[in-house]
Amino acid sequence: MPHFVAILAYDGLCTFEFGCAVELFALARPELEVAWYDYAVCALEPGLLRAAGGVQVLVEHGLEAFARADTIVIPGWRDIDDAPAPALIAALRAAAARGARICAICSGAFVLAHAGLLDGRRASTHWRYLAQLAARFPLIAIDPLALYVDDGDGDGAIITSAGSAAGLDMLLHLVRKDFGAAVANRVAQRLVLPAHRDGAQAQLVQRPLADETSSQIAALMDWVRENLRAPHTVASMAARVHMGERTLQRKFKASTGLSPQAWLVGERIALASLLLETRPALAIEAVADLAGMGSPESLRRHFRIHGLAAPARYRQQRRQQLVSVLPA
């Protein structure tokens, strides 16, 4: 059976966040040649609901859809001061107890917090709401910078994202987990989005940059992506854009929330993951070389640090996963 996604709708619906979830999970994608998601839009009280911008949404399904959902999406919330209905909280708790994956975009984190599903977990929300979330729900380990936080693996994972557009990064992250990097990259291409923005990337640029500097950093990132096999150091990257090393470190961090080294490792892991998935005959040594990791030992170490299975096991898992999502 296809992975089933239940998308919550509610009176006062956040239109953009809801649209993101529908675009990712409800749009047919036959060109991908996999058994794409099945879905249902559901509400506490089905019927005609108001959405932001004067839009109305007609919802056919009730919260019984939560009982069979593999993934539940909370697309924002109408007001962070408005506690969700007890029936919605009960349905979310029951879904979590049976191991459903639950994710929330932006202010939707408050719904999960009211349900107690974020207690003792890492989570994020839009930067405007971080202080309120921390004050009202002190048991949550809030990550104030992350684009999204994936707390857990497989069944029972809870994923929260920052502001509205970061929800797209989070949803693409789910596609990547479910179908692999190659499929996620094609979906991102169709959406005209970056194929991968890591959840650790900062949601808020702390120091606005001049246009020239932003262009330099962006051009450097593009060039490094095209030449990941080559050796790169902070010194060589700084020289590429005619900056001092400390200046590059400072401006790169301000622009992306990551150090140049951390960003580089993330890009190499993304490329190695894609090669493992799409080129099954390629030796692990060749994968490490093409991704710029240098050696299989280095590749295994970085995969382990980032919570991934060893490369050979990762490839096997993805192949098994691909078989499971191919149409019958």
Answer yes or no: is 86 within a domain: yes
* Burial class of residue 112, CB neighbours in 10 A (0-12, 13-18, 19+): buried
Answer yes or no: is 199 within a domain: no
Give pTM, 2 decimals: 0.73
Q: Are residues 309 and 240 in the same domain?
A: no
Q: Are residues 173 and 32 in the same domain?
A: yes
Average pLDDT over residues 60-85: 96
Q: Are residues 25 and 154 in the same domain?
A: yes
Q: Are residues 33 and 121 in the same domain?
A: yes
- Does residue 306 have a pLDDT over 90? no
Q: What is the rounded distance in angstroms from the CA atom of residue 46 to the CA atom of residue 63?
A: 9
Answer yes or no: is 205 within a domain: no
HSE toward the beta carbon, residue 19, CA cutoff 13 A = 11
Q: Are residues 84 and 126 in the same domain?
A: yes
Q: Binning pLDDT at 50, 70 and 90, where does residue 210 land?
A: very low
Give the range of the structural domain holding residue 242, as residue numbers without chain letter. 211-257
Q: Are residues 125 and 230 in the same domain?
A: no
What does the block give as tokens for 15? 């239109």
Closest of 23, 17, 15, 3 to residue 192, by C-alpha: 23
Answer yes or no: is 318 within a domain: yes
Q: Are residues 29 and 82 in the same domain?
A: yes
**Radius of gyration (C-alpha) of the chain in whole angstroms:** 21
The sign of the torsion formed by the CA atoms of 256, 261, 262, 263 equals: positive
Strand extents, DSSP E, the chain: 4-8, 38-42, 47-51, 55-59, 71-75, 101-105, 122-123, 141-142, 148-151, 158-161
What dihedral angle (degrees, nearest 10) is formed by the CA atoms of 48, 51, 55, 59? -30
What does the block give as tokens for 74? 């909370």
- Does residue 45 have a pLDDT over 80? yes
Provide the number of structural domains found in the chain: 3
Q: Are residues 182 and 128 in the same domain?
A: yes
Q: Are residues 167 and 273 in the same domain?
A: no
State residue 195's pLDDT score: 62
Q: What is the rounded distance in angstroms from the CA atom of residue 58 to the CA atom of residue 141?
A: 36
Identify the domain boundary among 136, 158, 191: 191
Helices and strands (H and E) in the chain: how many: 13, 10
Q: Are residues 181 and 240 in the same domain?
A: no
pLDDT in tens, 157-206: 999 998 878 889 899 999 988 998 888 888 988 887 766 565 555 454 44
Q: Binning pLDDT at 50, 70 and 90, where does residue 216 land?
A: confident
Q: Are residues 217 and 294 in the same domain?
A: no
Answer yes or no: is 202 within a domain: no
Answer yes or no: is 123 within a domain: yes
Q: Binning pLDDT at 50, 70 and 90, where does residue 152 land?
A: confident
As a whole number of angstroms, the longest Cα–Cα distance in the chain is 60
Identify the domain boundary among 241, 257, 273: 257
Q: Count other Cβ atoms within 10 Å, centred on residue 48.
A: 9
- CATH (domain of 68): 3.40.50.880
Answer yes or no: is 203 within a domain: no
Answer yes or no: is 204 within a domain: no
Across the chain, mean pLDDT equals 88
Question: Considering only 180-189, 226-235, 296-305, which range has the smallest mean pLDDT?
Answer: 180-189
State residue 208's pLDDT score: 42
Q: Are residues 147 and 281 in the same domain?
A: no
